[in-house]
Amino acid sequence: MRNISRVVVLSLSIIVLLSSTTHSIYLKPESHIKSATFVSENFEVGPGQIAVKNFWDIEFPKGHVGVKSFDVELIDEDGNSVPLYETYFHHWFAIKYFENITLSRNIEQYHDLRNGIVFQRNSGACQGYMLPHYWGLGGESRGTSSNLPDPFAVELGNPTKIPNGFKEKWLFNIMAIDTRGAYDRKGCSECRCNLFNLPNNFYNVTNGIDGKPLSLNYKGGLLCCQDNLQCKLRKGFDGPRRKLSLRYKIRWVDWDEHQVPLKFYILDATDRVKSNGSTTIHDCKVEYTIPRIHDSDSPNVQKASIPMENGGYLIYATTHMHTGVVNATLYGQKIFLSNSFSSDGRVLCTSTPKYGMGKEAGNEKGYLVGMSVCYPKPGSIKIEDGEILTLESRYENQFRTGAMGHFYIYLAEQLPNKDIKD
Ligand SMILES: *[C@@H]1O[C@H](CO)[C@@H](O)[C@H](O)[C@H]1NC(C)=O
Ligand SMILES: *[C@@H]1O[C@H](CO)[C@@H](O)[C@H](O)[C@H]1NC(C)=O
Ligand SMILES: *[C@@H]1O[C@H](CO)[C@@H](O)[C@H](O)[C@H]1NC(C)=O
Ligand SMILES: *[C@@H]1O[C@H](CO)[C@@H](O)[C@H](O)[C@H]1NC(C)=O
């Protein structure tokens, strides 16, 4: 049996807008936004310990819905928010999959997850299962809005899109690093290899994200942050083990003809886009190391140019970054002699950081606690099919491992039709 406690809060909001014209009425559809707060399975960590976990078949709104927001934070056994300097919440990813109904009993009884599951990635173009999630952030979760403006939403649970014999389900993939008593809190949060009790043959037996053997130059990042490893503690530090969980709040509407679907893309600043002549090949490395350049004040810039096979209207944009970020910008394509694109390398969005100033969860001093979100007026920014977007991820000029620069964008392929009735 899964051990899931659950709190459900339902709220309803009804908004009706009437235009002042006499012969045509624009009646905004009633928007019945529902909302629920769930608590995931728990996991246990001691001081300095890493937890990398998958929680399968998490609680999720049922039926054909349009999700408006998805917010997650880490809590302790009493339901209190856990601050980042105690447990650094490296990431949480909400990942969609289809499960073969015939095999569901096996999966539940024997935890045999190898068969009967088909992962469903987002619309982003990273290769394979790199960055597959629909929602996901890290330390900046509490201060980064995931709200989608009306009438836009992420359409899920559409029975015509789920193959016969399968059920749509969700899992969390998470990484949390307990840094209580850490000898080097920042280093542990950045997954610095020399701080962890890695096995002696670590570099001999570990492959990188690209599948090739790890180089001895690999100083830190996801591969050194493995489940149960231990980060170096201050001498004599002792602290209790504790149980943590994810508390997540989802807001949604029941799907109807008034909702406009959005597609979700993740663009990675490390994506080295190539072509083999006929097909664009993506090579997302997910994270990177920032060297410190002496005698320079300029930020480090990691840049990628990524063609968008399908464009759309930009409705929402933000970024997933780590502490040390200066800002990140997404640009449209620069075209000099063409009338096919109206684009001139325009700025589509700059996302800027918020750093904490205090002690309480959500405002931890020195930590990245939020990234700003761009909400262009719907219809005002159009990305063309085939347009090449350029993303620049800027960090302070300081040695840093496991840095990330991920742009999250939602595109609408159509806009709402305002002339509901004449
Ligand atoms: C589900 O798994 C069973 C057993 O392996 C298989 O016979 C069946 O075809 C699968 N169903 C679908 C819809 O793929
Ligand atoms: C790892 O590989 C190196 C060189 O390939 C070798 O010298 C070393 O003994 C190996 N270490 C372990 C612990 O296997
Ligand atoms: C390019 O890659 C695609 C996808 O892997 C493949 O189908 C296609 O045959 C390749 N084309 C060439 C010219 O190698
Ligand atoms: C982003 O950072 C760069 C480099 O420091 C700076 O020049 C630029 O003005 C910043 N942009 C915004 C919108 O803050």
Q: Which residue has the tokens 């001081």?
A: 47
Is-contact 251 35, C-beta < 8 A? yes
Q: Pick from 319, 321, 327, 331 the residue to mutate for probing ligand 4's pocket: most ligand atoms within 8 Å of its CB.
A: 327
Question: How far is ligand 4, taken at its centre, from the CA of residue 327, in Å?
Answer: 6
Ligand nearest to the CA of 102: 1
- CB half-sphere exposure, 132, CA atoms < 13 A: 15
DSSP states of 368-411:
EEEE--B-PPTTS-EEPTTPEEEEEEEE-SS-EEEE-EEEEEEE
Query: In angstroms, what is the C-alpha Rg of the chain?
Result: 22
Model pLDDT, residue 297: 87
CA of 392 to the centre of ligand 4 (A): 11
| pLDDT given at position 10 | 29
Distance 194 CA to ligand 2 centre (A): 17
- Classify 138 as helix, strand or coil: coil
What pLDDT does 112 receive?
60
The Cα–Cα gap between 167 and 97 comes to 8
Q: How far is the CA of 292 from the centre of ligand 2 (A)?
A: 29
Structure tokens at 365: 């001093």
| Mutation to probe ligand 1, out of 97, 98, 101, 103 (largest number of atoms < 8 A from CB) | 103
Cα-based torsion angle of the residue sequence 72, 77, 79, 80 in order, rounded to the nearest 10 degrees: -90
The rounded distance, in Å, linking the Cα atoms of 196 and 126 is 29
SS3 107: helix
CB half-sphere exposure, 169, CA atoms < 13 A: 18
Nearest CA to ligand 3 atom 3: 279
- Name the residue with the closest Cα to ligand 1, atom 7: 102
| 409 CA distance to ligand 4 middle (Å) | 20
Which atom of ligand 4 lies at the shortest distance from residue 350's CA?
Answer: 13
* Ligand 1 pocket, residues with Cβ under 6 angstroms: 100, 102-103, 116, 165
Q: Could you say which residues of the chain have pLDDT below 70? A: 1-31, 107, 109-114, 335-344, 418-422
Per-residue pLDDT, 19: 28
What is the CA(114)–ligand 1 centre distance, in A?
A: 13
Tell me which residue of 92, 173, 94 sits closest to 133, measured CA to CA: 94
pLDDT at residue 342, rounded to an integer: 53
> pTM for the whole thing?
0.89
> Rounded to whole angstroms, what are the CA distances from 314 to 6, 188, 416?
35, 36, 13
Among 198, 201, 207, 216, which residue has the most ligand 2 atoms within 8 Å of its CB, making it the best to mutate? 201
